[in-house]
Amino acid sequence: MHISEGVLQSEILISGAILGGGLLLYSIKKLDQDNIPKIAVLSAVFFLASFIHIPIGVTSIHLILSGLVGAFLGYEAVLAIFTALFLQGLLFGYGGLTTLGVNTFLMALPALFGHWIYSFTCKEKFVSLKWFLVGFVPILVSSSMLSLVLMINGEEFKAVASLSFVANLPAMIIEGIITLFALKFIQKVAPQFLRN
Amino acid sequence: MKILYILVLLNLSLYSHSLKIFTTKEADFISVKSYFSASSPCKDCEVVVKGLNGDFTCKTDNKGMAKIPLKINPTNITVNASLGHKNSIQITPYKQEIQKKEYPFWLKILFGLGVIFVFFGALKFLGKK
């Protein structure tokens, strides 16, 4: 899901930096001091999740858990994701510093979709489906945005754009299932965290 | 025209006996490939290497290949074929690459987690003030 350095055109990098930076500033503005420990824990979860790689054919996908992070943090998820992406780029070369804005935007904005789905009131029998969608939808949105960015980047990236979207299809389902079980587990052991 | 044709023909025959040398740097050695232009490798030819850390002599194999250890830091490679066919190339001395210290994966993960908690801890601390 991370876009490496030296791939994107400068126009896209600048636009991504403006959008990602704007989202980050809004997140800082909305920051609630009491939520900082929760942001730190979920930033660590996001940081660790990316190291679990699943090989799919010629490429590989990895867990992102942006939906789960978004569900718990709302707008503060942007700060958590930005911090984790910054350290991943700096320490492991996942993504990079010039693509930090684009990557933040690609993963943090869909995390907000996770929060909106999570906040949506529904009937008891549909709660499991809702929790599945909390994990599924952000990856669907992120993958679509990633493919779109690659397509805009140039003709030669069209094949990679399609391949990355197809490769992320299983990731959407896996993330949906993991998020569903994670939320079920939290409901069992610490239901107070699930209150909006 | 006939004279020109003969001259070109003679020139081509000379060119076919010129000895070519190619070198490529690999992990711990320099690979030398020597051949005549008629795609025939220079088999069993003597390779004399002068290096900053000593000299080295070996012979090429059936494919015209020879391996020179990088530790002698070669500056000149001469391939000596029979019947006076000889060629040599100059090489820029190999500079010892600075080995970047690579930290273990798990240590970097722990460091990353540490930075996250320290960063947010500092944010919480500053927010209280």
Q: Is the pLDDT of residue A77 over 90?
A: yes
What local confidence, expressed as pLDDT, does residue A58 receive?
47
- Contact: A91, B111; criterion CB under 8 Å: yes
Q: How confident is the model at residue B111 (pLDDT cuts 50, 70, 90)?
A: very high
Name the closest residue on chain B to residue A51, using Cα atoms. Answer: B109
Test the B interface: residue of A83, A85, A88, A94 with most B CBs within 10 Å: A83
Q: How confident is the model at residue B17 (pLDDT cuts 50, 70, 90)?
A: low
Q: Is the pLDDT of residue B79 over 80?
A: yes
Reported as a single tens digit per residue, the pLDDT across B21-69 is: 888 877 778 888 888 765 688 888 888 888 888 888 888 888 888 888 8
What is the rounded average pLDDT of the residues A176-194?
A: 89
Q: Which CA distances in Å does B24 have to B21, B29, B71, B91?
A: 10, 9, 15, 11
Residues within 8 A of A (CB atoms), B 56-115 only: 108-109, 111-113, 115
| Mean per-residue pLDDT over chain A, rounded | 88
What local confidence, expressed as pLDDT, does residue A131 receive?
92
Spell out which residues of chain A touch residue B113, defining contact as CB-CB under 8 Å.
44, 47-48
- Is this complex scored with an ipTM above 0.90? no
pLDDT, greater one: B99 or B66: B66
Q: Would you list the DSSP string of chain B? A: -HHHHHHHHHHHHHHHT-EEEEEEE-SSEEEEEEEETTS-B-TT-EEEEEETTEEEEEE--TTSEEEEEGGG-EEEEEEE-STT-EEEEE-PPPPPPPPPPPPPHHHHHHHHHHHHHHHHHHHHHHHH-
Reported as a single tens digit per residue, the pLDDT across A129-144 is: 999 999 999 999 999 9
What local confidence, expressed as pLDDT, does residue B95 receive?
66
Q: Is the pLDDT of residue B119 over 60?
A: yes
pLDDT, greater one: A160 or A38: A38
Chain B closest CA to A51's CA: distance in Å?
9
Of A174-178, B21-25, B97-101, give the lowest mean pLDDT range.
B97-101
Whether chain B has a CB inside 8 Å of the CB on A46: the answer is: no
Whether chain A has a CB inside 8 Å of the CB on B119: the answer is: yes
Cα separation, B110 vs B116, in Å, equals: 10
- Cα dihedral B26/B28/B34/B39 (nearest 10): -40
